[in-house]
């Protein structure tokens, strides 16, 4: 049975097994659990916007939910640059999860979707921010073709806390 549910990014494991960290949110934000987030110039968290991610540096993935926020509402974020996430991908082959895009020999993928329903667009890589690092361990969610779930990591050059 193919996966059809877009529910953002789910943390799988991290090198250091860090817990989410607390941040404050910008005004008028609706951020769902599993949404990629950025930090604005005032140091507050905002939901990443798929079409505007080309210059943004990712902070991480939301570990809590905020609806129609006021300035400085608290939010938890998985901000470890080594965190691995499971997410739905638009297409791909089970045997080789790293195909589709190729930038300088590396496989980078782009963010797609909207709050509460983000996924990885494997057909676009102009502003890639993810690297595929494996397949989901769930056999039903890892079927060949569209909407399979794979493991992703943010590129170190696109994560705010990468050294």
According to the model, what pLDDT value does residue 18 have? 75
According to the model, what pLDDT value does residue 138 have? 74
According to the model, what pLDDT value does residue 1 have? 44
Phi, psi at 125, each rounded to 5°:
-145, 10
DSSP 97: T
How many of the other CB atoms lie within 10 Å of CB of 94? Answer: 14
Q: Which two tokens stand for residue 22?
A: 């607390």
Residue that the structure tokens 């934000």 belong to: 29
pLDDT in tens, the chain (163 residues): 455 566 789 898 766 667 899 999 999 999 999 999 999 999 999 999 876 666 678 999 999 999 998 999 999 999 999 899 988 887 665 555 555 455 555 567 788 888 888 888 877 666 678 888 877 777 666 566 677 888 888 888 888 888 6
C-alpha to C-alpha distance for 114 and 8, rounded to whole angstroms: 9
According to the model, what pLDDT value does residue 143 have? 62
Residue 80 CB contacts under 8 Å (≥ 6 apart), including other chains: 14, 15, 16, 18, 60, 161
Domains of the chain: 17-78 (2.40.300.10), 82-158 (no CATH)
Strand order in the sheet with 21-24: 21-24, 74-78, 58-62, 36-39, 45-47
Query: Are 137 and 75 a contacting pair, CB within 8 Å?
Result: no
């Amino acid at each position: 049975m193919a996966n059809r549910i877009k529910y953002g990014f789910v943390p799988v494991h991290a090198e250091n097994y860090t817990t989410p960290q607390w941040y404050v949110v910008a005004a008028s934000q609706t951020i769902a659990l599993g949404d990629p987030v950025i930090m604005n110039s005032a140091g507050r968290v905002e939901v990443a916007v798929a079409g505007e991610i080309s210059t943004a540096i990712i902070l991480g993935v939301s570990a809590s939910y905020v609806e129609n926020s006021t300035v400085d509402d608290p939010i938890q974020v998985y901000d470890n640059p080594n965190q691995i996430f499971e997410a739905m991908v638009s297409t791909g082959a089970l045997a080789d999860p790293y195909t589709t895009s190729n930038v300088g020999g590396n496989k980078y993928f782009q963010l797609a979707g909207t709050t509460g329903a983000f996924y990885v667009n494997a057909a676009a890589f102009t502003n890639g921010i993810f690297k595929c690092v494996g397949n989901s361990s769930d056999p039903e969610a890892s079927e060949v073709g569209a909407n399979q779930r794979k493991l992703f990591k943010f590129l170190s050059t696109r994560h705010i806390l990468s050294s």
